[in-house]
């Protein structure tokens, strides 16, 4: 599986350049839309740099494609979602759960055991996030708030607020994340009173 992932990522550079040129964008225009520097975009297109999930998400959004389409994952022809885990440099695993472009995107995150004194690297991006903890304890730093969410708890926030997710020293954490463009919030319907 790692070999297939490597060959898929090897073809990513030309695909990124094709998508940018197809939309008639310069590197500087794409940099302004994604928050990724023009030099980093150039290195990604040339295959001189491996992309991170934080780079792939805004690129997929701007180009209007799914992560699978962006990285060139082969189509399955099967309506079931073919989970292709993405391993990150910090030991986390991300599983994209949706394949359609645009709209709300669903992901499952698995974060390794963390350190309670870890200094978070807060990020911002366009959109709205709804998070639901499946197992473990999630540390969510949201602006000036340091929140601890246990299994079964959820949070919803504007992703333009600086934020960061991490596991605590209690162990790994698994959570679902629904990310949509600004204004696309998760709608929770309460059951009617019976």
| Least confident residue range of 7-16, 127-136, 177-186 | 177-186
CATH of 103-180, one of 3.40.50.1110, 2.102.10.10, 2.60.120.10, 1.10.3470.10: 2.60.120.10
Predicted TM-score (pTM) of the model is 0.56
Residues of the chain above pLDDT 70, percent: 82
DSSP the chain: -HHHHHHHHHTHHHHHHHHHHHTT--HHHHHHHHS--HHHHHHHHTTSSPPPHHHHHHHHHHHT--HHHHHTPPP--SSS-----EE-TTS-EEEE---SSSS-EEEEEEE----TTPPP--B--SSEEEEEEEESEEEEEETTEEEEEETT-EEEEETTS-EEEEE-TT--EEEEEEEESTT------PPPP-
Express each pLDDT in 173-184 by its tens digit. Answer: 999 999 887 555
Q: What's the CATH superfamily of 2-71?
A: lambda repressor-like DNA-binding domains (1.10.260.40)
């Amino acid at each position: 599986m790692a070999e297939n992932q490597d060959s898929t990522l090897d073809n990513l550079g030309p695909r990124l350049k094709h998508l940018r040129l197809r939309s008639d964008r310069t590197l500087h225009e794409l940099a302004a839309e994604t928050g990724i520097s023009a030099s980093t975009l150039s290195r990604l297109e040339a295959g001189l740099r491996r992309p991170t999930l934080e780079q792939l998400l805004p690129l997929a959004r701007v180009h209007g494609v799914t992560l699978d389409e962006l990285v060139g994952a082969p189509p399955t022809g099967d309506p079931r979602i073919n989970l292709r885990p993405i391993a990150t440099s910090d030991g986390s695993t991300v599983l994209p759960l949706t394949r359609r472009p645009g709209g709300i995107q669903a992901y499952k995150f698995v974060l390794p055991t963390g350190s309670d004194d870890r200094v978070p690297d807060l990020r911002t991006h366009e959109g709205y996030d709804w998070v639901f903890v499946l197992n473990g304890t999630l540390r969510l730093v949201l602006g000036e708030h340091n929140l601890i969410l246990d299994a079964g708890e959820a949070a919803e926030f504007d992703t333009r607020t600086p934020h960061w997710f991490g596991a605590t020293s209690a162990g790994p954490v698994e959570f679902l994340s629904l990310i949509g463009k600004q204004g696309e919030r998760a709608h929770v319907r309460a059951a009617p009173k019976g």
